[in-house]
Amino acid sequence: MSQAKDSHLRRARGRPRDWHDKTEQNTIKSLDRAMEVFAFLSRTGGLSLSALAEETGQSPATVYRILVTLEGRGLVEFDASEQVWHIGPAAFVIGARFLRRTSLVDRARPVMRALMEQTGETANLGIEKEGAVLFLGQVETNATIRAFFPPGTLSEMHASGIGKALLAHMDDRRLGRVLGGGPLQAFTGQSITDLVGLDADLARIRARGYAVDNEEKTDGMRCIAAPVFDMTGEAVAGISVSGPTSRVGLDDIDRLSVPVMDAARDLTRAIGGAAD
């Protein structure tokens, strides 16, 4: 077989010649609509057919066909008692396969375990994904009251310890793309809702090396986070501890920040990274 023909076959197996072309001729509209419904449903605690159709701007008949198709693959499921649709177990299986692909999660596990044992609070790992924090892993404390961010949970960047730790190390262009130009959503009375206030907080984070979610997403819960860097010095993940304000008081922040930053440095080294 000639070298040119062999090269052509290798390319054909992986991707066509015009794989960069994302115009309508190379997209499947019905699949795109289905993925829009699936992605929206994944961000909710369950929705009725009519609510899902309204939120996605598609007809109930179209959404129903999408849901039934996804249900056949186990990607969504229907709760007949509540008349709502939920993400199905097959979605978790696919997500778990993605997590196995990256060594970050594997390398982080012993670091998070040690952090939880040292602080007595739940340890978390997250990355930025499409403008939100995607939690990849958690090691829970044995204490009765605890924070709970199961793998796959999404959280707003500006109201998250890990989110702010990552935002603090983004360049201005990327920061603007992630945050947008409008006001920031308030979740509690402590939430930062303006870009000027957030910018000041990010400057403090860069100066001291860690971020604090001071009841900004959930009343009664605090989180302390630090960034993890890759080999280029880019902040690619964050590691944190989170717990109730009854155990994580304002006077405890400085004490807990030390093992959190140590854990972030340990994980940075474990993935071959370099702190900026």
Residue range 101-113, pLDDT digits in tens: 568 888 899 999 9
Within a domain: 49: yes
- Assess contact for 78 and 85: CB atoms under 8 A: yes
Residues 76 and 112 in one domain: no
Q: And the tokens for 49?
A: 């057919």
* pLDDT at residue 263 tops 90: yes
Rounded distance between C-alpha atoms, residue 203 and residue 151, angstroms: 29
Average pLDDT, the chain: 87
Overall average pLDDT of the 231-254 stretch: 93
pLDDT at 19 over 50: no
Shared domain for 151 and 190, answered yes or no, is yes
Cβ atoms 242, 116 nearer than 8 A: no
Specify the pLDDT at position 150: 73
Q: What is the CATH number of the domain that holds 227?
A: 3.30.450.40
Q: Does 116 lie in the same domain as 29?
A: no
Q: Tell me the residue range of the domain where 266 lies.
A: 102-270
Does residue 146 sit within a domain? yes
Partners of 77 in the β-ladder: 86
* Domain final residue, candidates 55, 70, 92: 92
Instruction: State the Cα angle at 186 between 139 and 129, rounded to 5°.
Output: 50
pTM of the predicted structure, to 2 decimals: 0.68
Same domain, 160 and 222: yes
- Could you say which of 54, 74, 92 is where a domain stops? 92
Question: How do residues 101-144 score in pLDDT, each as one tens digit?
Answer: 568 888 899 999 999 999 999 999 999 988 899 999 899 888 77
Residue 207: per-residue pLDDT: 96
- Tokens 């993940």 map to which residue? 237
Return the amino acid letter for 23. T
Would you give the distance in Å from CA 41 to the centre of its chain?
Answer: 16
Q: Please name the residues in contact with 142: beta carbons below 8 A apart, sequence gap of 6 or more.
A: none
Least confident interval from 11-20, 162-171, 267-276: 11-20
Question: Do 262 and 158 belong together in one domain?
Answer: yes
